[in-house]
Chains A and B, each alone.
Chain A
């Protein structure tokens, strides 16, 4: 088990990777990536039972994670490379021609660690249910994880999946909602208010829990461990995780403005000044 200080160090480097990747190509999605850095770091460096060094699409005997909100690919790529799926130098190729690090994650270029394409929103929960059912058929005691944006919940397919999983007792599944309250056109309340996300999943029959401080490493690690303890009891688990978009870079924090724009040279310098280089830049 990694200790919290160690995980925080990794998270700081991941944040540096995110802003540097997006700056280098002047495109990408830094806001949601920065907000989910604690979650993905905790997942890949502490929670998941996985084999980063020899990637196997079938993931037999491994836990599996599906990123449903594929636009936060910078944090996903950074964490995958930092945990050993591929060389960190490859982060240099993000969003460039002939790269395996496409704007949105894909299996198409054979990038280790990615098991489904995502980008068009709302599809990952269904995919995760399928993988969870296969794990049950294969007699595995493993868990399937997903991450979704809160704005993504506006897609109808999510609710088809949300209906299916409890009705069929898919209880080896932990779906986390990144509740940052923001989407491209503004706050989720302004764009299409969803009321209580937790109440909706409860009403659909999920075991629902909350991580109030999704940018606090201890809270995230403890929350994910608690989520794991809730699996295997006849219900899928939904984690409503409150985060701040852009967390860790003061001028990007708490606003939808940095959903999908890149920092300038000066802004990059300011951001890196707030993020300690802990593992060495790529």
Chain B
């Protein structure tokens, strides 16, 4: 098992903030909009450095999405910032019509996704956002795993023409992606080559997948671990190549089982290479208040859950 080192845990939202600041310096067409969550989204540095390119829209997310769509007429590249729940479910029709169907170059940047929002509870812990966004034709969906990867993803999406949903979160998680690793939209990152089981993870579950791989190695199980930061377009080739070798798969994500990464993987495998698959995901349930780590255990998203899912998948070969 390849060794990964946490360079110092950080929140992925701060990776977004750092990436946005960088873009502020390098791309004058980048503008930012925020719905009264500048601090939570870590957009303060951009706002301070570029007050003329920062737009505070107040608690009015539908209007924010419309303004962002309109700003593209004339060449701006708007980055919207609010919580994942208010970036997707609350404004689905605005995104669908004014952004996706209108093919507008808007970057929808969403923090506090999933259970790890913690104490605020289920009203804010959206677990359906990946599904909502990936269903929209033409929408790119990205869920990076750590600070460095979120920063790199933020910079990369400015160069991609078309609507993008960028999902990140609030808790501090291990930061292990090399700072200079190029972010390629739609390209899976191979974290560990193995032969017994493929573990495909996204977002906060990637570090847990690495921990699970280490635990499995101690039990002489060789896990191939793939970081899928781009859920759409999915890296079909990387997944099929791995599954052809291992013969079984575990998907892991901080999202509903319905509509998430696992759903996309099973869709691919059903068509191309039917394979035993186990899901580490929330099973048709809302979240609740609590400490993030406690919630991850209660809802079945722990390192141990990935280990058990890997063994079960192997037993079904």
Contacts and interface: CB of A to CB of B under 8 A. Distances in A.
A188 interface: no
Contact of A161 (B63, B72, B96, B101): B63
Interface stretch (B4-12, B49-57, B223-231, B255-263): B49-57
A134 B71 contact: yes
B69 A130 contact: yes
Contact of A164 (B63, B73, B75, B76): B63
A117 B71 contact: no
Nearest to A170: B67
B62 interface: yes
A133 B63 contact: no
A130 B97 contact: no
B97 A126 contact: no
A123 interface: yes
A226 interface: no
Interface in B29-82: 31, 52-53, 55, 57-58, 60, 62-76, 78
Contact of A108 (B58, B60, B66, B101): B101
Contact of B70 (A60, A119, A128, A138): A128
Contact of A106 (B68, B102, B104): B102
Contact of A127 (B60, B69, B93, B103): B69
Interface string B97-128: 11001111000000000000000000000000
B97 A164 contact: no
B70 A130 contact: yes
Contacts of A64: 73
A4 interface: no
Given A118-B97, A128-B70, A137 B52 contact: yes
A60 B65 CA distance: 22
Interface in A149-201: 156-157, 160-161, 163-164, 168
Interface in A35-76: 57-60, 64, 66
Given A125-B66, A129-B67, A160-B62, A137 B73 contact: no
Contacts of A124: 66
Given A118-B97, A119-B97, A137-B52, A160 B69 contact: no
A131 interface: yes
A131 B70 contact: yes
A128 B66 CA distance: 8
Main SS class of interface, B: helix
B97 A123 contact: yes
Contacts of A108: 101-103
Interface residues of B, number: 32
A126 B73 contact: no
A131 B74 contact: yes
Contacts of B63: 126, 129, 157, 160-161, 164
A16 interface: no
Contacts of A15: none
A116 B67 CA distance: 12
Contacts of A120: 93, 96-97
Most A CB within 10 A of own CB, among B52, B102, B104: B102
Interface string B116-149: 0000000000000000000000000000000000
Contact of A134 (B52, B58, B70, B96): B70
B73 A58 contact: yes
A157 B63 CA distance: 6
Nearest to B65: A126
A126 B62 contact: yes
A133 B64 CA distance: 12
A81 interface: no
Contacts of B67: 126-127, 129-130, 133, 161, 164
Contacts of A164: 57-58, 60, 63, 67
B70 A107 contact: no
B98 A117 contact: yes
Given A108-B101, A137-B52, A156-B62, A116 B70 contact: yes
B177 interface: no
B62 A127 contact: no
26 contacts: A59-B74, A106-B102, A116-B73, A116-B104, A117-B97, A123-B94, A123-B97, A126-B63, A126-B66, A127-B66, A127-B67, A130-B67, A130-B68, A130-B78, A131-B70, A131-B71, A132-B70, A133-B55, A135-B74, A137-B76, A138-B75, A160-B60, A160-B62, A160-B63, A161-B63, A161-B66
**Ordered nearest first, which 6 A-B pairs have the shortest CB separation?**
A126-B66, A130-B70, A160-B63, A134-B74, A160-B60, A127-B70
